[in-house]
Amino acid sequence: MASTPPVQGLSDERLRAAEEAPGFMPLDEAYALHQTAATYLSQPDSVGLGVEIGTYCGKSTVFLGAAAEANDALIVTVDHHRGSEEHQPGWEYHDTALVDGHSGLLDTAARFRQTMFDAGLESTVLGLLAPSTAAARIWGRDVDLVFIDGGHSMEAAQNDYDGWARWVRPGGALLIHDVFPNPEDGGRPPYEIYRQALDSGRFTEESVHGSLRVLRRVR
């Protein structure tokens, strides 16, 4: 990631923390995520809260957190920190440096905390260590935005959509990452829940940024 002038709390130090964190979000999509969060967290009817589903090591969380801090808001980021399917041994994105020696399982929680420490966002970003389905069961309030970037199996994507899209306030935003209409470009589950959101009549497409889709809740 290249350094740029600070925008809504994105200092060079925070950009460096995001760059050094393991993760997969392209810089242009990360900036779009930041701009969208800043927009929805600063609206007159904002409730001052956004949710990210799928933390990994906190790369995209830096961009959400910077926007939240600039608007006196909070971000809750939800992850079990054991990695998605593609992060497991034998899969393309497995990173042995993130394996916990005690359990023998992937554990990205400490690396996420390091990213938030380096970015100076520990008071703005609240890490919820739990499966998305379990966290959704105890949730109970509207939010300004939900960013879905969790597991890419159909079951995981469906659970994220079913559990969290309903908490977007009217006028708020649902963001879905890795949406590829062409099956040759990437996995289908994020595209499928994106289509479900549009077909529900509750959301309308606001903007497209690479594989990032921004939907606004209309009812």
Give the active site residues.
152
Tell me if 18 sits within 8 A of 119, measured CB to CB: yes
Parallel, antiparallel, or unpaired: how do β-strands 49-53 and 74-79 relate?
parallel
Angle between helices 27-41 and 59-70 (to 10 degrees): 30
Partners of 173 in the β-ladder: 145, 216
- Rounded CA gap, 48 and 180, in Å? 30
What is the C-alpha separation between 89 and 94, in angstroms, rounded?
6
Rounded Cα–Cα distance for residues 205 and 161 (Å): 16
